[in-house]
Structure formats: structure tokens, C-alpha cells
């Protein structure tokens, strides 16, 4: 396997590049690796989540749903 280290401007290793053919072989051998791949959300998924967010905001404005602190939201995103 031919791996390449990815380094920052200070020479610190920050990642590893794995050629796609090697990655495919690893995924076949270790099925759990597939969950590590990021899948770009579809336009429909993004629109659905935006609609849900707008509905939640309306409920907060109406006092039917309690808003949460921005710090909690940011922690959830990380």
C-alpha cells in the first residue's frame, strides 16, 4: 500500500492520503470503514432540514417550543 502523509506548513503530519483503489480494497476487507465516508446531502435533504428549522423557529416565536442556547447548538455541530 502506498500511503502519503499530508503535512501542515510546520511539517506536522495532519492526515494520510490513501489511493482510491487501496481504499476500495480496505472497504471490502473491513466493512465498518464505509461509515467513515462522507456523503454529500441531496438538495431534497437540505430543503427538508431547512423547512424543519423554519418550523421550529416559528414554534419558538409562538412560545410553543423553548429555544436552546447557541452554545449548545454549536457543541452539537462539533
* DSSP line for 25-68: HHHHH-GGGGGGS--PPPHHHHHHHHHHHHHHHHHHHTTSS---
Stated length of the chain? 78
Same domain? 31 vs 51: no
At 24-77, the pLDDT tens digits run: 999 899 988 888 877 888 999 999 999 999 999 999 999 999 888 888 878 887
Domain assignment of residue 21, given as a range: 4-36
The pLDDT of residue 32 is 86
> What's residue 37's pLDDT?
79
Together in a domain, 50 and 31? no
Q: Do 51 and 73 sit in the same domain of this protein? A: yes
- CB of 58 within 8 A of CB of 52? no
Q: pTM higher than 0.85 for the full model?
A: no
How far is it, in rounded angstroms, from Cα 52 to Cα 23? 36
* 21 beta partners: none
My answer on whether 32 and 47 are in the same domain is no
Amino acid at each position: 500500500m502506498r500511503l502519503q502523509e499530508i503535512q501542515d506548513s510546520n511539517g506536522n503530519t495532519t492526515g494520510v492520503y490513501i489511493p482510491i483503489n487501496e481504499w476500495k480494497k480496505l472497504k471490502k476487507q473491513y466493512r465498518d470503514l464505509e461509515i467513515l465516508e462522507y456523503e454529500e446531502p441531496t438538495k431534497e435533504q437540505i430543503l427538508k432540514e431547512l423547512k424543519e428549522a423554519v418550523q421550529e423557529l416559528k414554534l419558538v416565536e409562538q412560545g410553543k417550543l423553548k429555544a436552546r442556547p447557541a452554545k449548545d447548538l454549536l457543541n452539537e455541530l462539533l
